[in-house]
Amino acid sequence: MSDDQSKPRLALVQFPGSNCEWESKRAAEAAGMDCDVFRWNLDPEGLSAYAGYIIGGGFSYQDRIRSGVIATKEPIVARMMSDIAEGHKPALGICNGAQVMVEAGLIPGLHSGDVEMALAPNRPDPTHRIAGFCCRWVYVKLACDPQRCAMTTKLQTGEIIPIPIAHGEGRFTTRDQAVVDALRAYDQIVFQYCDADGNVEDRPEINPNGAVANIAGICSVEGNVMAMMPHPERASFLGQVPTDLGGPWSERRREAWGDADALDQPGPGRAIFESMREALVAAQPA
């Protein structure tokens, strides 16, 4: 932890099986936050010292039963839910963290505490083979107003972001069409899978897991919580962008070849963390 009191303090909650905490910590600190990895078995009261939370990716409790569900039974999650509801603290769930948030009823949060959606196994491919674990770069498009969600205020309307995914159970789904209708009505669909030109189509090469409405990320009704399956921490630095991806980010990456300082510049996922920093500053007591 740094001694810089001007930086908002962020707790990155770690469960057994988490594996992205240090990448996420580096991305958060590069965006100007003071980030501590906070283990699941610490006293939950210690969370009161933090302005917001990240639950990172991995395989908490080996994804037993369902991805994320066992982690929701830990006291630390109950404390986070209380802080988020009562203190309106910003919180970001990435991949397995998104699964935890959905299983806890934080997302989409249409009816407080209710589990209204699932992150189901990825859709089988056109030959009906089990899709299994999907790990590649995709494109997502900002589908909501940038000011709607605390994690998108630094993005532009309709911005298209290249970003990696790595999951086997990442398909946002629900049996209740009314839930999807409500997400659209309340502008809670934050990111949708798209192609490089921003076209949102339900095809495997565009929608990699078959998510309903191509959903890659959802915010809460209040907008202070976001759950997303793609990994912004793995796209937070220019050096992480593949040179053969295509598009402007890939061109910048090629231009930075051999320049360590240039490769350490912000990547396409950085704006999500910078937006969160802005939200944390706003959430801190005056």
Residue 1 has pLDDT above 50, yes or no: no
Examine residue 84 and state whether it is found in any structural domain, yes or no: yes
Residue 128 has pLDDT above 70, yes or no: no
Examine residue 139 and state whether it is found in any structural domain, yes or no: yes
Residue 2 has pLDDT above 80, yes or no: no
Examine residue 1 and state whether it is found in any structural domain, yes or no: no
Residue 5 has pLDDT above 90, yes or no: no
Can you tell me which residue has the tokens 């240090």? 22
Examine residue 17 and state whether it is found in any structural domain, yes or no: yes
Residue 239 has pLDDT above 60, yes or no: yes
Examine residue 212 and state whether it is found in any structural domain, yes or no: yes
Instruction: Write down the catalytic residue from 134, 169, 219, 231.
Output: 231
Q: For the residues 240-246, what does the mean pLDDT come to?
A: 95
Residue 262 has pLDDT above 90, yes or no: yes
Residues forming a β-bridge with 138: 163
Q: Alpha-carbon distance 91 to 54, whole Å?
A: 6
Examine residue 148 and state whether it is found in any structural domain, yes or no: yes
Examine residue 4 and state whether it is found in any structural domain, yes or no: no
Lowest-confidence region among 107-116, 117-126, 226-235: 117-126
Q: Alpha-carbon distance 34 to 6, whole Å?
A: 9
- Does the active-site annotation cover 95? yes
Examine residue 69 and state whether it is found in any structural domain, yes or no: yes
Task: Return the ∠ at Cα 181 (arms to 139 and 63), rounded to 5°.
Answer: 60
Q: Does residue 276 contact residue 37 with C-beta atoms inside 8 Å?
A: no
Residue 86, pLDDT score: 84
The per-residue pLDDT of the chain, averaged, comes to 94
Cα→Cα distances 112→73, 104, 135, 221, 222, Å: 17, 10, 32, 10, 11
Q: Does residue 14 contact residue 40 with C-beta atoms inside 8 Å?
A: yes
**117 token code pair:** 């959606």
Residue 286, pLDDT score: 58
Q: What pTM does this model have?
A: 0.94
Q: For the residues 66-77, what does the mean pLDDT come to?
A: 93
Residue 180, pLDDT score: 98
The total number of structural domains that make up the chain: 1
Instruction: Write down the catalytic residue from 21, 103, 116, 233.
Output: 233
Residue 130, pLDDT score: 57
Q: For the residues 126-130, what does the mean pLDDT come to?
A: 60
Q: For the residues 6-29, what does the mean pLDDT come to?
A: 96
Instruction: Write down the catalytic residue from 35, 95, 144, 194.
Output: 95
The domain containing residue 151 runs over which residues? 9-283
Residue 146 has pLDDT above 70, yes or no: yes
Residue 113, pLDDT score: 83
Q: Does residue 220 contact residue 235 with C-beta atoms inside 8 Å?
A: no
- Does the active-site annotation cover 194? no
CATH number of the CATH domain containing 91: 3.40.50.880
- Does the active-site annotation cover 231? yes
